[in-house]
Amino acid sequence: MSQSLVYITAPSMEDAKRIGEKLIEERLAACVNVIPGMKSMYHWKGKVETDDEIVVIAKTTSDLVHRLSHKVVDLHPDEVPCVVAVPVAGGNQAFLRWIGEETA
């Protein structure tokens, strides 16, 4: 079973925690890290924007990425939320097995 890290941004700590808790409750992720204090700069609708955001990193299996992404989009307040999956190429095999067990 392969694993993925899913990088998500949220506009507030409340949104990040709500999304993370739901992903854990529904076993779409084994673990979620919520990291405050990010400054994002991006183009949006013809303008350069700067916002404070919260980073959410979800640890999941690759076969759950599609469902997890849809859940985040459903829960997220932004029109086009950032949800990007990165496959895990290696690591602590016991930890990687745990991700599979907790999302089964």
**What's the structural domain count of the chain?**
1
What sections of the chain are H helices per DSSP? Answer: 13-25, 65-75, 93-102
Digit-coded pLDDT (tens) for 29-47: 999 999 999 999 999 999 9
Backbone φ and ψ of 89, nearest 5°:
-90, -15
pLDDT at res. 17: 98
Percent of the chain clearing pLDDT 70 (strictly above): 100
CATH of the domain at 33: 3.30.70.120
Which one, of 61, 53, 73, 55, lies nearest residue 8 by Cα? Answer: 55
Q: How confident is the model at residue 52 (pLDDT cuts 50, 70, 90)?
A: very high
Domain extent for 88:
3-102
Calculate mean pLDDT across residues 71-99: 97
pLDDT of 104 > 90? The answer is no
Q: How confident is the model at residue 13 (pLDDT cuts 50, 70, 90)?
A: very high
pLDDT of 1 > 90? The answer is no
